Every structure is written in structure tokens, then in C-alpha cells.
Amino acid sequence: DTEVTQTPKHLVMGMTNKKSLKCEQHMGHRAMYWYKQKAKKPPELMFVYSYEKLSINESVPSRFSPECPNSSLLNLHLHALQPEDSALYLCASSQATSGIEQFFGPGTRLTVL
């Protein structure tokens, strides 16, 4: 199983809502990543988890809160988002942070109203 799954596929939320994005992999990978991708732009790294510990936070606003409850799961908790946060949120995993190949999920398309 070389798949990274992400739920939900689409999410529409208001600026006062709290929601969560979920990412799961069963490849035994110990590094997991969140990226944000605006339309027609390349993915931008947000967070890196290594062995369930946050190792990189690319100065992401605190309204985005990542969580890695175990080695297979990665969540992104969203609160008080702005319309400019509307984007495709991609999750990825690799064997370790030095791993050659990252496996990406299909993403969650988020719209903030």
C-alpha cells in the first residue's frame, strides 16, 4: 500500500468555524508533511513531523495547528481562517526526513467564506 489518503476531499468553512483535515498513511513512514498550494502556484511547505515530533514550522500562522497523534496519522486543525487561506492542502510522507521519495495525497480543497 503506497497510498496517502486525505479527508475530506472538499471543505467549505466560515471564518468563525473550527475544522480539521486528516491525513493517513500505512507505509511505515516516520516523516509526514503539510503543504499549501494556491491555484496555479507550486506547493509551499507548512510543517514537517519527524517521528511524531514537529521538526519544521515554516512560520505558519497559529490559526493552523498541526497534530501527529501516531506514526500513521497527521491532522491539521483550522480555526478562524481567512478567505486568503483558501487553497489545496496536501499531505505527504516519506521514510524519514532524509527519505528520497515523498508520497503525496490528493489533497483537500479548502474554501473559506
Partner 1 sequence: DAKTTQPNSMESNEEEPVHLPCNHSTISGTDYIHWYRQLPSQGPEYVIHGLTSNVNNRMASLAIAEDRKSSTLILHRATLRDAAVYYCILRANQAGTALIFGKGTTLSVSS
Summarize as ranges the residues that interact with partner 1 (CB under 8 A). 4, 33, 42-45, 48, 50, 55-56, 90, 92, 96-98, 100-107
User: Rounded to the nearest whole angstrom, what is the least distance from the CB of residue 36 to partner 1 in the complex?
Assistant: 11
Cα-based distances in Å from 50 to 12, 41, 60, 81, 112: 30, 26, 17, 26, 29
Count of other CB atoms within 10 angstroms of residue 2: 9
Cα-based distances in Å from 56 to 19, 46, 48, 80: 22, 8, 5, 22
Bond prior to 8 in cis (omega within 30° of 0):
yes
User: Rounded to the nearest whole angstrom, what is the least distance from the CB of residue 55 to partner 1 in the complex?
Assistant: 6
Cα separation, 72 vs 78, whole angstroms: 20
